[in-house]
Chains A and B, each alone.
Chain A
Amino acid sequence: MPSPTLDGSFPFNFERNFHFQDGGELLMPAWATALIKLGWWCRCRHVRGKRILAIALLPGRAMASSLVGFGAVLGGAQQSKPGLTWDRLRTLPAGTELFWRWTADSKPARGVIQVPDEGIGHLVRVLLTAGSRKNMMWSFSEETFHTGTFSEEKLPSGNRLNADAEAKMLLEEIGVVADSRWFSSGSPEAALVTSCAEFSRSLADVRVVSGAKSAMFSSLLFASIFRAGCSSKLQVVPVNSNSERDTPLRILDGAHAFRRLRDSGGADSNVIILLDRGEVGPELSDDLLRITGALGSLTEELQLEVSDLAQRLDVSIQVAEVDE
């Protein structure tokens, strides 16, 4: 079982047993593993006081963002902590919506957090907004909290959970054992700024096979674009949108997305920029030079962790001070 702490070595062995099925069957190629590792590493590796900025220049960007996103999701799964902890729940202000379910089969419930009752502040008080006890107040304790799955976001329905089952089995096959609640709660591991149309089209027919398990590659991404309203691990954001959430990793896919570098997103998120060679004209090249010129290098130790990537991809990985 892969170690939950990052020791720099990529724990997934794709090259032995992970096939893509799309136009034929293909064992995971080296460039794809490198992209996955790039996403995984940038999701998991954090340098105190700095953020990592990686740029990859490719012959073409097709599928690249999905693979990088997949890596980020794997990284998040490895590090999975339950999305909403009791402590965090206690800090949520009155008026926040809350969603929960007790078992995979039970109906999801929802309510609005209320100001706790005087004297029993150790219980969380909620006004139920759905179900047979709608409009009634309900208070619960920490013990009760731990017996269910709670989230600030809508939880996937039963059907969705079954569709996820295939994905979960395949992930287990490659050694990803995530906290079971990671699948249905919490916030995205990464935000991906891209053309949503191309993203979904590129994944339409891609299946993956590992051992006896198989699943649609798109299901392994837990991407928001395929899971309307449910918690997702990869938030797919159109280039024009302002709805990018604060995530540990931002993936900017293409020159148009690259222009969003300075906008929104988390102030200290790591960033991966994907570009294809046709997009890099003199002006963009200048922009890149200006950006990379102002960045610092990785420590030798960190460089060693990603040295193999430089042999498969045209990539630059540096660090920036987090102050703006």
Chain B
Amino acid sequence: MASFLEIDRRYSNASALCLNEYRISSHAVATVVEITRELLRQLDRQDSSQRELASMVWRLRSSIFFTLLPFSADALGIAELARSISSAVSRLPFVQSLCHRFGPAITALLDEGSNPKWIAIEALVGSSPEDHRHGIFTAMAFGRSFGRPPSGNAGKSANAIWVESSSAMRTISIDRLTVIGMCRYLSRQAYADIFHSGCAADITILLYPGETFEWKVPPTLCRNRSSGAPYNREPAIRAIETTARSEVKVDERDDVDVWREAHSGNRSPALGLTKSRFVLFKDGRGLFVPEDSAVLLLVDRAVDARSDLVESPARDAREGDAMVVRAEAGGYLVGLGDQEEEFDREVESASDWRPALEAMLMRTEVADIATEMRRFGAKNVSLAGSIRHWADGSTYGPGTLGEFRALITVLERAGTLRLQESADLYIADRWQRLSALRAGRQRLGQSIRHHVLNELRAHFAKFGRTDEISVIPTEYGQEFHVCFIAAVDDSPSWVPNARLMTLQSILR
């Protein structure tokens, strides 16, 4: 948990933010970027195989932009991806000239020994003062990082703090931050966590030819930014070039709607489709959550006795939150709810005498009702207090059959409760149902939410936060799954009902 001093520093940082655009030159990268940009421009997104090719090209570009590994590293799979692209491109007559240039450009890239951004990081961390904590953020797209050499290799790495979680930026304590690439594929929340939360006063963004940084103004309530909260001041932005400025400019059409490519939901409404929000989990799978539904989230990073689940629309979920969903054959169900809703409905229907009691209370003193009830056999000494609880619903109703009978008798005689059947039948039926509800409540423990929470806490105590989806069984034969969120799509999608709440892997 951040200390008060650290929180104060965040306000100061946000009030005096300095951004450094650190432009790194690399001929090999520039060439691949230029060719692939041209390729993307020529592709027809309406054609499904060309769209798939565009996705592959995006993956290639982002691997190059956002990795810190040597480009030839096996883990990156650049060579293989390039081969697939080559073979797909060779089938398209209108980009043959690019096809010929693509191969050699990739070869040149793979021949580069060390990763230019890695070298830059070593230089940056190395030149920081000894005691400075230097944060390095690497999760540049879909909450994913794209590989880096093992720790211990970045100069004075004792001070380097590697961060893959944007939500951690809200509480981390560092002196300066390096973001290893352009921020175009960060979700709005991730961007805000990094740039608007005051995590550091000095932020450096590493940019290859073809990458640009865009400062997004934080939301504000005031119309006039200049006079106002110090933390709304514009940041100072300066450019650091390592050599002559590159020629490659970023073309708007570079921009693949990466989320849409990944999950292929529609970006506009259509008949038969439901508005939803795509949520990506840390294990690489995700699902569409109906926009109007509330999901259960565990938002506390450190789970303890007081942590609770929050009901929230999916769009408000953030990286690092855990989503808790009920598992069912064929998909997930939104919310805890059905079982609880049914329970609540039953409570209401078994308590249909309550409005009659409320009506009577409007014209009769509680004490008088109590007196009347005693005439008909109720024995409780603090009846008056109880009557109020029955009326406001904070208890189910009278605790004994005798009391209940007395209440119904009084209500009927007062004329506020009109019965369709004989009083005896009514009393017997309602009493039996109220007793069942009481027993049910006890049997349910304190409700499913409580149970799930307890299991969650135990789970966290044992396993901490993991990337895999964890399973929590309940005694009612249901399973709950806990999924940690990597990123949430900034825009809604429209999908057929069959795709809602069904886990899918995304095209990565």
A→B interface (CB under 8 Å): 20-24, 26, 29, 31-32, 55, 57-60, 62-63, 93-97, 112, 115, 127, 195-198, 200-202, 204-206, 225, 238-240, 255-256, 259, 276-285, 288, 292, 310-316
A314–B222 touching, CB < 8 Å: yes
Find the B residue at minimum CB distance from A93: B366
B385–A95 touching, CB < 8 Å: yes
Chain A positions within 8 Å of B449 at CB level? 240
Is B372 part of the contact surface with A, judged by Cβ < 8 Å? no
A sample of 13 cross-chain residue pairs with beta-carbon separation below 8 angstroms, ordered by A number, consists of A22-B4, A57-B220, A59-B14, A93-B365, A93-B367, A96-B385, A197-B308, A239-B311, A240-B311, A277-B218, A277-B219, A281-B189, A310-B222
Which residues in window 206-233 of B have CB below 8 A to A? 218-222, 227-232
Given A23-B3, A284-B316: A240 and B309 interface contact (C-beta under 8 Å)? yes
Is B388 part of the contact surface with A, judged by Cβ < 8 Å? yes
A59–B196 touching, CB < 8 Å: yes
B303 to chain A, nearest CB (A): 8
Chain B positions within 8 Å of A279 at CB level? 189, 316
A318 to chain B, nearest CB (A): 10
Q: Which of A197, A239, A313 contacts B306 (CB 8 A)?
A: A197
Q: Bound complex: CA of A283 vs CA of B277, how far in Å?
A: 12
B196–A63 touching, CB < 8 Å: no
Chain A positions within 8 Å of B490 at CB level? 281-282
Find the B residue at minimum CB distance from A129: B382
A110 to chain B, nearest CB (A): 13
Find the A residue at minimum CB distance from B8: A29
Q: Bound complex: CA of A196 vs CA of B193, how far in Å?
A: 22
A59–B198 touching, CB < 8 Å: yes
B→A interface (CB under 8 Å): 1-8, 10-11, 14, 170-171, 188-189, 192-193, 196-198, 218-222, 227-232, 299-300, 302-313, 315-316, 318, 365-367, 370, 381-388, 449, 490
B308–A23 touching, CB < 8 Å: no
Chain B positions within 8 Å of A316 at CB level? 221-222
Chain B positions within 8 Å of A59 at CB level? 10-11, 14, 196-198, 231
Find the A residue at minimum CB distance from B304: A197
B312–A256 touching, CB < 8 Å: yes
Chain B positions within 8 Å of A23 at CB level? 3-6
A197–B4 touching, CB < 8 Å: no
Q: Bound complex: CA of A23 vs CA of B313, how far in Å?
A: 36
A62–B171 touching, CB < 8 Å: yes
Chain A positions within 8 Å of B219 at CB level? 57, 277, 280, 285
Q: Bound complex: CA of A205 vs CA of B6, how far in Å?
A: 13
B308–A238 touching, CB < 8 Å: yes
A112 to chain B, nearest CB (A): 6
Chain B positions within 8 Å of A62 at CB level? 1-2, 7, 10, 171
Chain B positions within 8 Å of A314 at CB level? 220-222, 228-229, 231-232
Chain B positions within 8 Å of A240 at CB level? 308-311, 449
